């Protein structure tokens, strides 16, 4: 499977600088970079070998694709006409773009899922302006969304902050999410930290809930559930359908590992908004405690309702 990294972040956060590094750097990787032609375009004419084309090669052997709205079509074209020219894909979203639809585009297309797999969502943050985005009079909900979606956070422009300011920002981010935070200057990061890392892999899920600050109302919350006991599969199905129907639009990410009654394999799932993907995983190990671990990240989530309704799916509740 060809791994796809989704790069998101506000305009001016440093995404374009990172994309330029991918397209210019002598890193030895064969990467197809997909950009929205109506967003901020990183590519300058000096990088192009066959300018004027929708897909063109850059001088370091990477591919750049300028998308005019149809992401699925350009991915299909890449895999059918250029498959031997790249080993991984980076999709740069526009500044205010919700990465959810990009994930859905890939996961809902049978041809794409037979060739591609989402590897990670990487969010680039402007460290110099981050506090203003998070604390503004009308808090920038999109920033919270992009943090919620992220598997990796890149805190950029650290050269504009002193040591204490940088440490405080990292601590603040850790109250919102448990994913790794890498600090960067001029958008530069070792590509092995963000590409082909398997962060979106269901088998590598993290379940630690961040320590939320209750001093102010935040546009996003994380709800973690960690409960032992076997689940009734029929009740679980109905519960998932109910959650998607009532809370789906407000759920940015959800993921979990479940113990289903009568099954020797773990059941793993993840979802983005209304999209849900679940499957049987490896067998439970003899020394492994069969616990149900889930996390929901979104806005206006009713913690008690989620936990109590999930408990009702346990076999012993029948």
Residue 228, classed as helix, strand or coil, is strand
Residue 288 lies in a domain: yes
Q: What are phi and psi of 53, to 5 degrees?
A: -95, 155
Residue 139, pLDDT > 60, answer no
Are both 32 and 151 inside the same structural domain? yes
Residue 52, pLDDT > 80, answer no
**Amino acid 201: pLDDT:** 66
Sheet arrangement for strand 265-272: 221-228, 291-298, 251-258, 265-272, 275-283
Residue 40: HSE in the Cβ half-sphere, 13 Å Cα cutoff: 20
Here the tokens at position 49 are: 């070998």
What share of the chain has pLDDT > 70, as a percent?
Answer: 84
Cα separation, 80 vs 71, whole angstroms: 14
Residue 203, pLDDT > 60, answer no
Assessment of whether the complete model's pTM goes beyond 0.85: no
Are both 194 and 249 inside the same structural domain? no
Domain boundary among 170, 200, 230: 200
Are both 195 and 244 inside the same structural domain? no
Domain boundary among 200, 229, 262: 200
Residue 206 lies in a domain: no
User: Are 14 and 156 in contact, with CB atoms under 8 Å apart?
Assistant: yes
Residue 81 lies in a domain: yes
Tell me what the mean pLDDT of segment 166-174 comes to: 91
Are both 154 and 254 inside the same structural domain? no
Residue 65 lies in a domain: yes
Q: Could you tell me which residues are beta bridge partners of residue 258?
A: 267
Among 15-24, 50-59, 166-175, 285-294, the least confident range: 50-59
Query: pLDDT: is 16 or 69 the higher one?
Result: 16
Kindly report the CATH number assigned to the domain that includes residue 279: 3.30.1220.10
The number of distinct structural domains making up the chain is: 2
Residue 213 lies in a domain: no
Domain range for 256 is: 221-317
Residue 261 lies in a domain: yes
Residue 99 lies in a domain: yes
Closest CA to 170 of 179, 310, 193: 179
Are both 150 and 275 inside the same structural domain? no
Are both 295 and 162 inside the same structural domain? no
Are both 43 and 126 inside the same structural domain? yes
Tell me what the mean pLDDT of segment 230-247 comes to: 92
């Amino acid at each position: 499977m060809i791994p796809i990294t989704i790069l998101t972040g506000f305009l001016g956060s440093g995404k374009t600088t990172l994309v330029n590094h991918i397209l210019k750097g002598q890193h030895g990787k064969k990467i197809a970079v997909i950009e929205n032609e109506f967003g901020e375009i990183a590519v300058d004419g000096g990088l192009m070998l066959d300018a004027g084309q929708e897909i063109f090669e850059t001088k370091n052997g990477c591919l750049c694709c300028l998308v005019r709205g149809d992401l699925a079509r350009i991915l299909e074209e890449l895999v059918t006409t250029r498959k031997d020219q790249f080993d991984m894909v980076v999709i740069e979203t526009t500044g205010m773009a919700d990465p959810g639809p990009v994930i859905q585009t890939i996961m809902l297309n049978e041809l794409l899922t037979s060739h591609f797999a989402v590897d990670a969502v990487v969010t680039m943050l402007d460290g110099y302006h981050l506090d203003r985005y998070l604390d503004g009079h009308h808090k920038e909900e999109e920033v919270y969304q992009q943090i919620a979606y992220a598997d990796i956070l890149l805190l950029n422009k650290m050269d504009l902050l002193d040591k204490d300011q940088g440490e405080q920002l990292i601590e603040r981010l850790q109250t919102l999410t448990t994913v790794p935070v890498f600090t960067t200057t001029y958008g530069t990061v070792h590509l092995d930290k963000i590409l082909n890392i398997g962060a979106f892999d269901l088998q590598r899920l993290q379940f630690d809930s961040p320590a939320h600050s209750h001093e102010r109302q935040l546009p996003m919350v994380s709800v973690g559930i960690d409960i032992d006991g076997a689940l009734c599969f029929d009740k679980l199905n109905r519960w998932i359908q109910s959650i998607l129907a009532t809370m789906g639009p407000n759920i940015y990410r959800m993921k979990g590992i479940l113990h289903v009654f009568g099954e020797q394999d773990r059941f793993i799932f993840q979802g983005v908004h209304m999209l849900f993907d679940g499957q049987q995983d490896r067998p439970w190990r003899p020394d492994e405690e069969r616990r149900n671990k889930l996390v929901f990240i979104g806005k206006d989530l009713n913690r008690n309702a989620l936990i109590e309704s999930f408990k009702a799916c346990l076999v012993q509740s029948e």
